[in-house]
Chains A and B, each alone.
Chain A
Amino acid sequence: MIRVILPPHLRGLARVSGEVKLEIEGQATQRSVIDALEASYPMLRGTIRDHVTQQRRPFLRFFACEEDLSHEPPDAPLPDAVASGAEPLLILGAIAGG
Protein backbone atom coordinates (compact mmCIF):
# COMPACT_ATOMS: atom_id res chain seq x y z
CA MET A 1 0.00 0.00 0.00
CA ILE A 2 1.38 3.37 -1.07
CA ARG A 3 0.51 6.58 0.75
CA VAL A 4 0.31 9.79 -1.27
CA ILE A 5 -0.18 13.29 0.06
CA LEU A 6 -1.68 15.62 -2.51
CA PRO A 7 -1.50 19.41 -2.45
CA PRO A 8 -4.69 21.08 -1.21
CA HIS A 9 -5.85 22.16 -4.67
CA LEU A 10 -5.75 18.58 -5.92
CA ARG A 11 -7.35 17.19 -2.77
CA GLY A 12 -10.24 19.53 -3.47
CA LEU A 13 -10.41 18.47 -7.08
CA ALA A 14 -10.36 14.77 -6.16
CA ARG A 15 -12.73 15.41 -3.25
CA VAL A 16 -10.53 13.64 -0.74
CA SER A 17 -9.19 14.68 2.61
CA GLY A 18 -5.96 13.50 4.15
CA GLU A 19 -3.75 10.93 2.51
CA VAL A 20 -4.66 8.85 -0.51
CA LYS A 21 -3.88 5.15 -0.21
CA LEU A 22 -3.14 3.17 -3.35
CA GLU A 23 -2.45 -0.48 -4.13
CA ILE A 24 0.32 -0.92 -6.67
CA GLU A 25 0.98 -4.08 -8.62
CA GLY A 26 4.66 -4.56 -9.30
CA GLN A 27 7.38 -2.09 -8.49
CA ALA A 28 6.52 1.24 -6.93
CA THR A 29 7.82 3.99 -9.18
CA GLN A 30 6.71 7.55 -9.85
CA ARG A 31 5.02 6.31 -13.00
CA SER A 32 3.21 3.36 -11.41
CA VAL A 33 2.04 5.47 -8.48
CA ILE A 34 0.72 8.27 -10.70
CA ASP A 35 -0.87 5.68 -13.00
CA ALA A 36 -2.68 4.19 -10.00
CA LEU A 37 -3.62 7.61 -8.70
CA GLU A 38 -5.11 8.68 -12.03
CA ALA A 39 -6.97 5.38 -12.35
CA SER A 40 -8.62 5.95 -8.99
CA TYR A 41 -9.08 9.68 -9.47
CA PRO A 42 -9.43 10.36 -13.19
CA MET A 43 -10.21 14.00 -12.51
CA LEU A 44 -6.52 14.39 -11.72
CA ARG A 45 -5.40 13.43 -15.22
CA GLY A 46 -3.42 16.25 -16.68
CA THR A 47 -2.95 18.06 -13.37
CA ILE A 48 0.23 16.29 -12.19
CA ARG A 49 1.76 15.33 -15.51
CA ASP A 50 1.01 16.55 -18.97
CA HIS A 51 -1.82 14.77 -20.77
CA VAL A 52 0.26 14.06 -23.83
CA THR A 53 3.93 14.00 -22.87
CA GLN A 54 3.28 12.39 -19.47
CA GLN A 55 6.01 14.62 -18.06
CA ARG A 56 5.70 16.09 -14.59
CA ARG A 57 4.20 19.56 -14.70
CA PRO A 58 7.04 22.05 -14.17
CA PHE A 59 5.81 23.62 -10.93
CA LEU A 60 5.12 20.32 -9.15
CA ARG A 61 7.60 18.41 -7.04
CA PHE A 62 7.79 14.86 -5.68
CA PHE A 63 9.29 14.56 -2.20
CA ALA A 64 9.78 11.50 0.01
CA CYS A 65 11.98 10.57 2.93
CA GLU A 66 13.28 14.14 3.10
CA GLU A 67 14.57 13.95 -0.48
CA ASP A 68 13.51 15.68 -3.70
CA LEU A 69 12.78 12.89 -6.16
CA SER A 70 11.42 15.22 -8.85
CA HIS A 71 14.30 14.71 -11.22
CA GLU A 72 14.55 10.96 -10.78
CA PRO A 73 13.55 8.94 -13.86
CA PRO A 74 9.82 8.09 -13.76
CA ASP A 75 10.57 4.37 -13.76
CA ALA A 76 13.17 4.50 -10.98
CA PRO A 77 12.10 2.57 -7.88
CA LEU A 78 10.76 4.72 -5.07
CA PRO A 79 12.48 4.38 -1.68
CA ASP A 80 11.65 1.20 0.23
CA ALA A 81 9.98 3.25 2.94
CA VAL A 82 7.54 4.62 0.37
CA ALA A 83 6.98 1.24 -1.25
CA SER A 84 6.18 -0.29 2.14
CA GLY A 85 3.86 2.54 3.16
CA ALA A 86 6.07 3.59 6.06
CA GLU A 87 6.59 7.01 4.47
CA PRO A 88 4.27 8.93 2.12
CA LEU A 89 5.07 10.28 -1.31
CA LEU A 90 4.45 14.02 -1.21
CA ILE A 91 3.25 15.79 -4.33
CA LEU A 92 3.42 19.51 -3.83
CA GLY A 93 3.33 22.75 -5.70
CA ALA A 94 6.56 24.70 -5.87
CA ILE A 95 6.57 27.95 -3.93
CA ALA A 96 6.51 30.21 -6.95
CA GLY A 97 4.39 33.22 -7.57
CA GLY A 98 3.42 33.88 -3.96
Chain B
Amino acid sequence: MSKLRVLVGTRKGAFILTSDGKREKWDVSGPHFAGWEMYHLKGSPADPNRIYASQTSGWFGQVIQRSDDGGKTWTQPGTPPGERTTPEGMPKGESNKFVYDISTETGKPLTTHQWYDGTQHPWEFKRVWHLEPSLTDPDTVYAGVEDAALFRSKDGGKSWQELSGLRGHGSGPGWQPGAGGMCLHTIVLDPSNPQRMFIAISAAGAFRTDDAGRTWRPINRGLKSQYIPNPEAEVGHCVHRIAMHRSRPSVLFMQKHWDVMRSDNAGDLWQEVSGNLPTDFGFVIDVHAHEPETIYVVPIKSDGEHFPPDGKLRVYRSRSGGNEWEALTKGLPQSDCYVNVLRDAMAVDSLDRCGVYFGTTGGQVYASADAGDTWAPIVRDLPAVLSVEVQALP
Protein backbone atom coordinates (compact mmCIF):
# COMPACT_ATOMS: atom_id res chain seq x y z
CA MET B 1 0.00 0.00 0.00
CA SER B 2 1.42 3.35 -1.01
CA LYS B 3 1.67 6.23 1.41
CA LEU B 4 0.97 9.86 0.66
CA ARG B 5 2.79 12.81 2.16
CA VAL B 6 1.41 16.28 1.52
CA LEU B 7 3.75 19.18 2.30
CA VAL B 8 1.92 22.40 3.11
CA GLY B 9 3.56 25.80 3.48
CA THR B 10 1.52 28.50 5.21
CA ARG B 11 1.86 32.06 6.42
CA LYS B 12 2.58 30.82 9.94
CA GLY B 13 4.37 27.50 9.63
CA ALA B 14 4.57 24.22 7.75
CA PHE B 15 2.35 21.19 8.04
CA ILE B 16 2.87 17.62 6.87
CA LEU B 17 -0.23 15.58 6.13
CA THR B 18 0.09 11.82 5.69
CA SER B 19 -2.27 9.09 4.62
CA ASP B 20 -2.29 5.63 3.16
CA GLY B 21 -3.12 5.07 -0.48
CA LYS B 22 -6.86 5.29 0.14
CA ARG B 23 -6.42 8.97 0.95
CA GLU B 24 -9.36 8.96 3.33
CA LYS B 25 -7.81 9.45 6.78
CA TRP B 26 -5.03 11.93 7.31
CA ASP B 27 -2.59 12.57 10.11
CA VAL B 28 -1.51 16.17 10.60
CA SER B 29 1.98 17.05 11.79
CA GLY B 30 2.84 20.64 12.61
CA PRO B 31 3.17 23.46 12.80
CA HIS B 32 6.83 23.14 11.93
CA PHE B 33 8.68 26.48 12.18
CA ALA B 34 5.65 28.03 13.86
CA GLY B 35 5.22 31.71 13.21
CA TRP B 36 7.42 31.77 10.11
CA GLU B 37 6.22 32.16 6.56
CA MET B 38 6.86 28.84 4.85
CA TYR B 39 6.79 29.69 1.18
CA HIS B 40 7.54 26.24 -0.16
CA LEU B 41 8.55 22.72 0.78
CA LYS B 42 9.48 20.08 -1.75
CA GLY B 43 10.94 16.59 -1.60
CA SER B 44 13.72 15.27 -3.78
CA PRO B 45 12.49 12.87 -6.48
CA ALA B 46 15.80 11.03 -6.07
CA ASP B 47 15.44 10.67 -2.29
CA PRO B 48 11.88 11.35 -1.11
CA ASN B 49 12.90 11.60 2.54
CA ARG B 50 15.04 14.59 1.72
CA ILE B 51 12.83 17.66 1.85
CA TYR B 52 13.91 21.24 1.31
CA ALA B 53 11.97 24.09 2.87
CA SER B 54 12.01 27.86 2.50
CA GLN B 55 11.46 29.57 5.87
CA THR B 56 11.23 33.32 5.67
CA SER B 57 10.27 36.44 7.57
CA GLY B 58 10.09 40.14 6.91
CA TRP B 59 11.91 40.62 10.21
CA PHE B 60 14.52 37.88 10.22
CA GLY B 61 15.17 37.19 6.56
CA GLN B 62 15.65 33.91 4.77
CA VAL B 63 16.39 30.51 6.26
CA ILE B 64 16.76 27.25 4.36
CA GLN B 65 15.80 24.09 6.17
CA ARG B 66 16.39 20.49 5.15
CA SER B 67 15.03 17.23 6.42
CA ASP B 68 16.60 13.87 5.66
CA ASP B 69 13.92 11.80 7.37
CA GLY B 70 10.75 12.83 5.63
CA GLY B 71 10.07 15.89 7.74
CA LYS B 72 10.45 14.40 11.23
CA THR B 73 13.55 16.45 12.01
CA TRP B 74 15.06 19.50 10.34
CA THR B 75 18.41 21.23 10.18
CA GLN B 76 19.87 24.20 8.42
CA PRO B 77 22.21 22.54 5.93
CA GLY B 78 25.77 22.69 7.21
CA THR B 79 24.72 23.89 10.64
CA PRO B 80 23.77 20.98 12.88
CA PRO B 81 21.83 22.24 15.88
CA GLY B 82 23.77 22.38 19.10
CA GLU B 83 27.10 21.59 17.48
CA ARG B 84 29.90 24.13 17.39
CA THR B 85 31.85 22.24 14.75
CA THR B 86 31.08 19.98 11.83
CA PRO B 87 33.31 17.59 9.89
CA GLU B 88 33.96 20.52 7.57
CA GLY B 89 34.88 22.89 10.40
CA MET B 90 33.02 25.74 12.03
CA PRO B 91 29.50 26.17 10.67
CA LYS B 92 29.26 29.37 8.75
CA GLY B 93 25.54 29.67 8.36
CA GLU B 94 26.03 29.88 4.60
CA SER B 95 22.81 28.07 3.80
CA ASN B 96 20.82 31.27 4.29
CA LYS B 97 23.12 33.35 2.13
CA PHE B 98 21.80 34.36 -1.28
CA VAL B 99 24.11 36.88 -2.87
CA TYR B 100 23.62 38.07 -6.42
CA ASP B 101 26.52 37.39 -8.72
CA ILE B 102 28.11 40.67 -9.74
CA SER B 103 31.33 39.25 -11.12
CA THR B 104 32.34 40.12 -14.65
CA GLU B 105 33.46 36.57 -15.36
CA THR B 106 30.10 34.85 -15.19
CA GLY B 107 27.79 36.62 -17.54
CA LYS B 108 26.52 40.15 -17.74
CA PRO B 109 25.11 40.84 -14.33
CA LEU B 110 22.49 43.53 -14.13
CA THR B 111 22.14 45.86 -11.26
CA THR B 112 18.70 47.38 -11.78
CA HIS B 113 15.18 46.45 -12.82
CA GLN B 114 12.06 48.50 -13.34
CA TRP B 115 10.36 49.72 -10.18
CA TYR B 116 6.62 50.28 -9.70
CA ASP B 117 6.94 53.91 -10.71
CA GLY B 118 8.89 53.11 -13.87
CA THR B 119 12.28 54.15 -12.51
CA GLN B 120 15.20 51.75 -12.27
CA HIS B 121 15.73 50.01 -8.93
CA PRO B 122 18.60 47.85 -7.67
CA TRP B 123 18.14 44.12 -7.19
CA GLU B 124 17.58 43.32 -3.50
CA PHE B 125 17.24 39.78 -2.21
CA LYS B 126 14.08 39.27 -0.18
CA ARG B 127 13.10 35.61 0.01
CA VAL B 128 12.99 32.20 -1.65
CA TRP B 129 9.63 31.55 -3.27
CA HIS B 130 10.21 28.13 -4.75
CA LEU B 131 12.61 25.23 -4.27
CA GLU B 132 12.99 22.68 -7.06
CA PRO B 133 15.13 19.65 -6.23
CA SER B 134 17.03 17.96 -9.05
CA LEU B 135 15.30 14.99 -10.61
CA THR B 136 18.40 12.82 -10.14
CA ASP B 137 20.72 14.24 -7.47
CA PRO B 138 19.41 14.77 -3.91
CA ASP B 139 22.17 17.31 -3.23
CA THR B 140 21.27 19.57 -6.12
CA VAL B 141 18.38 21.96 -5.70
CA TYR B 142 17.31 25.17 -7.43
CA ALA B 143 15.83 28.21 -5.70
CA GLY B 144 13.66 30.85 -7.31
CA VAL B 145 13.96 34.09 -5.39
CA GLU B 146 12.60 37.61 -5.05
CA ASP B 147 13.98 39.91 -6.51
CA ALA B 148 13.83 37.57 -9.44
CA ALA B 149 16.85 35.36 -9.89
CA LEU B 150 17.70 31.69 -9.98
CA PHE B 151 20.11 30.10 -7.51
CA ARG B 152 21.47 26.56 -7.34
CA SER B 153 22.99 24.52 -4.55
CA LYS B 154 25.03 21.43 -5.34
CA ASP B 155 25.83 20.55 -1.74
CA GLY B 156 22.44 19.86 -0.26
CA GLY B 157 21.58 23.47 0.42
CA LYS B 158 24.74 24.39 2.36
CA SER B 159 25.69 27.09 -0.11
CA TRP B 160 24.01 28.81 -3.04
CA GLN B 161 25.29 30.28 -6.28
CA GLU B 162 23.32 32.40 -8.69
CA LEU B 163 22.85 31.24 -12.28
CA SER B 164 23.42 34.80 -13.36
CA GLY B 165 22.92 34.24 -17.06
CA LEU B 166 19.22 34.68 -16.42
CA ARG B 167 19.51 38.16 -14.93
CA GLY B 168 22.20 38.85 -17.50
CA HIS B 169 19.87 38.03 -20.34
CA GLY B 170 19.60 41.67 -21.23
CA SER B 171 15.91 42.29 -20.72
CA GLY B 172 16.26 42.74 -16.95
CA PRO B 173 15.76 46.52 -16.96
CA GLY B 174 12.27 45.79 -18.31
CA TRP B 175 11.31 43.34 -15.58
CA GLN B 176 9.03 44.75 -12.93
CA PRO B 177 7.44 43.56 -9.72
CA GLY B 178 3.89 42.27 -9.72
CA ALA B 179 1.60 42.84 -6.77
CA GLY B 180 3.38 40.09 -4.84
CA GLY B 181 6.86 41.36 -5.62
CA MET B 182 9.26 40.56 -8.44
CA CYS B 183 9.53 36.87 -7.84
CA LEU B 184 10.88 33.87 -9.70
CA HIS B 185 8.18 31.44 -8.61
CA THR B 186 8.19 28.57 -11.12
CA ILE B 187 11.00 26.18 -11.99
CA VAL B 188 10.21 23.27 -14.31
CA LEU B 189 12.92 20.71 -15.07
CA ASP B 190 12.79 18.74 -18.32
CA PRO B 191 13.01 15.04 -17.41
CA SER B 192 14.19 14.10 -20.89
CA ASN B 193 16.89 16.74 -21.22
CA PRO B 194 19.00 17.80 -18.22
CA GLN B 195 20.19 20.82 -20.18
CA ARG B 196 16.69 22.25 -20.45
CA MET B 197 14.79 24.12 -17.77
CA PHE B 198 11.88 26.55 -17.73
CA ILE B 199 11.31 29.35 -15.23
CA ALA B 200 8.68 32.04 -14.81
CA ILE B 201 8.84 35.47 -13.23
CA SER B 202 6.15 37.94 -12.19
CA ALA B 203 6.20 40.23 -14.03
CA ALA B 204 8.75 39.41 -16.67
CA GLY B 205 7.44 36.22 -18.24
CA ALA B 206 8.73 32.75 -19.02
CA PHE B 207 12.31 31.87 -19.90
CA ARG B 208 14.06 28.72 -21.08
CA THR B 209 17.61 27.51 -20.91
CA ASP B 210 18.98 24.79 -23.18
CA ASP B 211 22.44 24.73 -21.65
CA ALA B 212 21.75 23.90 -17.99
CA GLY B 213 21.25 27.50 -16.91
CA ARG B 214 24.21 29.24 -18.54
CA THR B 215 22.15 31.20 -21.04
CA TRP B 216 18.44 31.95 -21.24
CA ARG B 217 15.92 33.26 -23.68
CA PRO B 218 12.43 34.61 -23.13
CA ILE B 219 9.64 32.35 -24.39
CA ASN B 220 6.67 34.69 -24.41
CA ARG B 221 5.62 34.80 -28.06
CA GLY B 222 1.87 34.49 -28.33
CA LEU B 223 1.19 36.01 -24.91
CA LYS B 224 -0.95 39.13 -24.91
CA SER B 225 -1.10 41.31 -21.80
CA GLN B 226 -3.19 44.46 -21.91
CA TYR B 227 -1.60 45.83 -18.74
CA ILE B 228 1.75 46.57 -20.43
CA PRO B 229 2.34 49.25 -23.04
CA ASN B 230 3.05 46.74 -25.79
CA PRO B 231 0.70 43.81 -25.10
CA GLU B 232 2.90 41.47 -27.12
CA ALA B 233 6.26 42.61 -25.73
CA GLU B 234 9.13 40.18 -25.40
CA VAL B 235 9.07 40.53 -21.60
CA GLY B 236 6.83 42.12 -18.99
CA HIS B 237 4.11 39.46 -18.84
CA CYS B 238 2.81 38.40 -15.46
CA VAL B 239 3.03 34.63 -15.73
CA HIS B 240 1.55 32.98 -12.66
CA ARG B 241 2.41 29.33 -13.18
CA ILE B 242 3.67 26.81 -15.73
CA ALA B 243 2.99 23.06 -15.67
CA MET B 244 4.27 20.14 -17.71
CA HIS B 245 3.57 16.42 -17.98
CA ARG B 246 6.82 14.51 -17.70
CA SER B 247 5.99 12.29 -20.69
CA ARG B 248 5.70 15.32 -23.00
CA PRO B 249 8.16 17.93 -21.85
CA SER B 250 7.68 20.12 -24.90
CA VAL B 251 4.03 20.69 -24.07
CA LEU B 252 3.60 23.43 -21.50
CA PHE B 253 0.50 24.85 -19.87
CA MET B 254 0.43 28.31 -18.36
CA GLN B 255 -1.86 30.25 -16.09
CA LYS B 256 -1.06 33.84 -16.88
CA HIS B 257 -2.40 36.78 -14.86
CA TRP B 258 -5.30 36.68 -17.29
CA ASP B 259 -5.48 33.83 -19.86
CA VAL B 260 -4.78 30.12 -19.75
CA MET B 261 -2.20 29.29 -22.40
CA ARG B 262 -0.63 26.27 -24.05
CA SER B 263 2.57 25.71 -25.98
CA ASP B 264 3.35 22.61 -28.04
CA ASN B 265 6.92 23.64 -28.79
CA ALA B 266 8.61 24.20 -25.44
CA GLY B 267 7.41 27.76 -25.18
CA ASP B 268 8.42 28.98 -28.63
CA LEU B 269 4.81 29.93 -29.29
CA TRP B 270 1.77 30.06 -27.02
CA GLN B 271 -1.91 29.89 -27.84
CA GLU B 272 -4.81 30.71 -25.58
CA VAL B 273 -6.92 27.77 -24.35
CA SER B 274 -9.16 29.59 -21.85
CA GLY B 275 -12.21 28.43 -23.79
CA ASN B 276 -15.38 28.32 -21.70
CA LEU B 277 -13.83 29.13 -18.32
CA PRO B 278 -16.00 31.53 -16.29
CA THR B 279 -12.91 33.75 -15.88
CA ASP B 280 -9.42 33.11 -17.11
CA PHE B 281 -7.72 34.88 -14.22
CA GLY B 282 -6.12 32.55 -11.68
CA PHE B 283 -2.88 31.35 -10.18
CA VAL B 284 -2.55 27.56 -10.23
CA ILE B 285 -2.40 25.12 -13.10
CA ASP B 286 -1.44 21.46 -13.04
CA VAL B 287 -1.51 18.35 -15.21
CA HIS B 288 -2.99 14.93 -14.41
CA ALA B 289 -0.24 12.44 -13.52
CA HIS B 290 -1.24 9.91 -16.19
CA GLU B 291 -3.27 11.86 -18.74
CA PRO B 292 -1.11 14.55 -20.34
CA GLU B 293 -4.09 16.29 -21.91
CA THR B 294 -5.99 16.56 -18.63
CA ILE B 295 -5.30 19.84 -16.87
CA TYR B 296 -6.67 21.68 -13.86
CA VAL B 297 -7.11 25.35 -12.98
CA VAL B 298 -8.98 27.27 -10.29
CA PRO B 299 -10.59 30.35 -11.85
CA ILE B 300 -10.45 33.48 -9.71
CA LYS B 301 -12.77 36.39 -10.41
CA SER B 302 -10.21 39.07 -11.26
CA ASP B 303 -6.95 40.70 -10.30
CA GLY B 304 -8.93 43.14 -8.20
CA GLU B 305 -11.13 40.50 -6.57
CA HIS B 306 -9.00 37.57 -5.55
CA PHE B 307 -11.79 35.08 -4.86
CA PRO B 308 -13.84 32.59 -6.87
CA PRO B 309 -16.66 33.90 -9.07
CA ASP B 310 -20.09 33.87 -7.41
CA GLY B 311 -18.61 32.67 -4.12
CA LYS B 312 -18.34 29.14 -5.56
CA LEU B 313 -15.04 27.32 -5.20
CA ARG B 314 -14.70 25.34 -8.41
CA VAL B 315 -11.79 23.48 -9.93
CA TYR B 316 -12.04 23.36 -13.69
CA ARG B 317 -10.75 20.35 -15.59
CA SER B 318 -10.08 20.06 -19.28
CA ARG B 319 -9.56 16.61 -20.77
CA SER B 320 -8.63 18.07 -24.13
CA GLY B 321 -5.59 20.11 -23.16
CA GLY B 322 -7.67 23.26 -22.82
CA ASN B 323 -10.54 25.13 -24.47
CA GLU B 324 -13.24 22.75 -23.20
CA TRP B 325 -13.57 22.89 -19.43
CA GLU B 326 -15.87 21.25 -16.89
CA ALA B 327 -16.53 22.53 -13.39
CA LEU B 328 -15.65 20.17 -10.54
CA THR B 329 -17.74 21.05 -7.52
CA LYS B 330 -18.59 17.95 -5.49
CA GLY B 331 -17.36 18.47 -1.96
CA LEU B 332 -16.27 22.06 -2.54
CA PRO B 333 -18.16 25.01 -1.03
CA GLN B 334 -20.68 26.37 -3.54
CA SER B 335 -21.79 29.45 -1.70
CA ASP B 336 -20.22 32.29 0.25
CA CYS B 337 -16.67 31.15 -0.43
CA TYR B 338 -14.16 33.98 -0.88
CA VAL B 339 -10.76 32.36 -0.58
CA ASN B 340 -7.89 32.47 -3.04
CA VAL B 341 -5.68 29.64 -4.29
CA LEU B 342 -2.11 30.84 -4.69
CA ARG B 343 0.25 29.84 -7.47
CA ASP B 344 2.23 27.13 -5.69
CA ALA B 345 -0.77 25.65 -3.91
CA MET B 346 -1.83 22.82 -6.23
CA ALA B 347 -0.27 19.40 -6.74
CA VAL B 348 -1.08 15.96 -8.14
CA ASP B 349 0.01 12.57 -6.88
CA SER B 350 1.12 9.65 -9.02
CA LEU B 351 -1.09 6.87 -7.68
CA ASP B 352 -3.01 4.84 -10.26
CA ARG B 353 -6.07 6.98 -9.62
CA CYS B 354 -4.51 10.40 -9.76
CA GLY B 355 -5.00 12.50 -6.64
CA VAL B 356 -5.33 16.27 -6.88
CA TYR B 357 -4.67 18.66 -3.97
CA PHE B 358 -4.94 22.37 -3.42
CA GLY B 359 -4.76 24.79 -0.52
CA THR B 360 -6.56 28.06 0.05
CA THR B 361 -5.87 31.35 1.73
CA GLY B 362 -8.65 30.36 4.13
CA GLY B 363 -6.50 27.53 5.45
CA GLN B 364 -8.24 24.59 3.84
CA VAL B 365 -6.40 21.85 1.98
CA TYR B 366 -8.73 19.94 -0.30
CA ALA B 367 -7.94 16.55 -1.79
CA SER B 368 -9.53 14.50 -4.50
CA ALA B 369 -8.66 10.82 -4.79
CA ASP B 370 -10.52 10.45 -8.08
CA ALA B 371 -8.85 12.96 -10.37
CA GLY B 372 -11.14 15.78 -9.31
CA ASP B 373 -14.57 14.15 -9.49
CA THR B 374 -15.10 14.54 -5.75
CA TRP B 375 -13.32 16.56 -3.09
CA ALA B 376 -12.95 16.58 0.67
CA PRO B 377 -10.97 18.82 3.00
CA ILE B 378 -7.96 17.20 4.63
CA VAL B 379 -7.71 20.15 7.01
CA ARG B 380 -9.92 23.21 7.33
CA ASP B 381 -8.31 25.69 9.63
CA LEU B 382 -4.64 26.16 8.86
CA PRO B 383 -3.09 29.58 8.36
CA ALA B 384 -3.32 30.88 4.80
CA VAL B 385 -1.81 28.26 2.51
CA LEU B 386 1.09 29.36 0.32
CA SER B 387 2.14 26.05 -1.21
CA VAL B 388 1.12 22.42 -1.53
CA GLU B 389 3.28 19.55 -2.74
CA VAL B 390 2.59 15.83 -2.58
CA GLN B 391 4.79 12.77 -2.50
CA ALA B 392 3.66 9.21 -3.22
CA LEU B 393 5.86 6.89 -1.18
CA PRO B 394 6.25 3.12 -1.52
Contact = CB atoms under 8 A, between A and B. Distances in A.
Interface of A: 7-10, 12-13, 15, 38-40, 42-48, 50-52, 57, 59-60, 93-94, 96-97
Nearest to A10: B60
A42 to B, nearest CB: 4
A47 B58 contact: no
A60 to B, nearest CB: 6
Nearest to A8: B35
Contacts of B92: 42, 45
Contact of B97 (A44, A51, A60): A51
Contacts of A7: 59-60
B82 A15 contact: yes
A50 B62 CA distance: 10
Interface residues of B, number: 24
Contact of B99 (A40, A51, A97): A51
B35 to A, nearest CB: 6
A46 B82 contact: no
B96 interface: yes
Given A8-B35, A13-B63, A42-B93, 20 more contacts: A7-B59, A9-B35, A9-B36, A9-B59, A9-B60, A15-B82, A40-B84, A42-B91, A43-B91, A45-B94, A45-B96, A45-B97, A46-B97, A47-B60, A51-B96, A52-B97, A57-B60, A57-B61, A60-B60, A96-B58
B60 A43 contact: no
Query: Which 8 pairs across A and B sit closest by C-beta, in order of nearness?
Result: A45-B93, A42-B91, A42-B93, A47-B60, A93-B59, A46-B96, A59-B59, A51-B97
Most buried by A among B58, B60, B99: B60
A59 B58 contact: yes
Contacts of B36: 9
B59 A60 contact: yes
B62 A46 contact: yes
B60 A15 contact: no
A57 B125 CA distance: 13
Nearest to A45: B93
6 contacts: A10-B60, A42-B90, A43-B79, A46-B61, A46-B63, A59-B58
Contacts of B60: 7, 9-10, 13, 47-48, 57, 60, 93
A47 B81 contact: no
B28 interface: no
Most chain A CB within 10 A, of B58, B59, B61, B93, is at B59
A8 B60 CA distance: 11
A46 B93 CA distance: 8
B74 to A, nearest CB: 11
A36 B321 CA distance: 58
A47 B84 contact: no
Contacts of A42: 79, 90-93
A7 B35 CA distance: 12
A57 B59 contact: yes
Contact of A52 (B35, B57, B99): B99
B34 interface: yes
A47 B57 CA distance: 9
B387 to A, nearest CB: 20
Contacts of B93: 38, 42-46
Interface string B23-63: 00000000001111000000000000000000001111111
Given A9-B36, A15-B82, A38-B93, A43 B76 contact: yes
Of listed A15, A42, A51, residue having the most chain B CB within 10 A: A42
Contact of B57 (A9, A15, A51): A9
Contacts of A9: 35-36, 57, 59-60
Contacts of B90: 39, 42
Contact of A43 (B34, B59, B62, B81): B81
B129 to A, nearest CB: 18
A20 B91 CA distance: 19
Which residue of A9, A38, A93 has the most chain B CB atoms within 10 A of its CB atom? A9
Nearest to B86: A42
A93 B57 CA distance: 11
Contacts of A94: 59
Interface in B267-323: none
A45 B92 CA distance: 8
B384 to A, nearest CB: 13
Contacts of B76: 43
A26 B97 CA distance: 28
A15 B99 CA distance: 26
